[in-house]
Amino acid sequence: MASRAVAVDAEDAGTPEKNYVNESRQSVAVAVEDSVDIDQIAVLAYAGWQRRGCPIGSPDLDWFAAEEELKGRKQAN
């Protein structure tokens, strides 16, 4: 994924562009805080798949269940 640098002058501090940059940084920070480790999700999802008897198809069920469980654990702490 390509990244894009944004330069903002001090004079532009109150402009909509400056506000957009700050809001984007805040939403990225929130997304990172709310996220869980992909490796942990994968391990938990695999265990759930095995508990279900290793069915063919629907891997998203185990993935989303694992993700929700880990988010719940994180919120409980």
Q: What is the pLDDT of residues 4-52, one digit of tens each?
A: 444 444 454 555 555 544 554 444 434 444 578 999 999 999 999 999 9
CA distance 20 to 7: 13
Q: Bigger pLDDT: 21 or 65? A: 65
CB atoms within 10 A of CB 33: 8
Whether 41 and 66 have beta carbons less than 8 Å apart is answered as yes
8 token code pair: 């903002």
Q: At residue 70, does pLDDT exceed 70?
A: yes
Q: Output the pLDDT for position 25.
A: 47
Going from N- to C-terminal start, the domains of the chain cover: 36-77
Q: Look at 65 and 2; give whichever has higher pLDDT.
A: 65
All residues at 6 or more sequence positions from 29 whose CB lies less than 8 Å from its CB, including other chains? none
Given this model, what pLDDT does residue 26 score? 47
Q: What is the pLDDT of residue 36?
A: 80
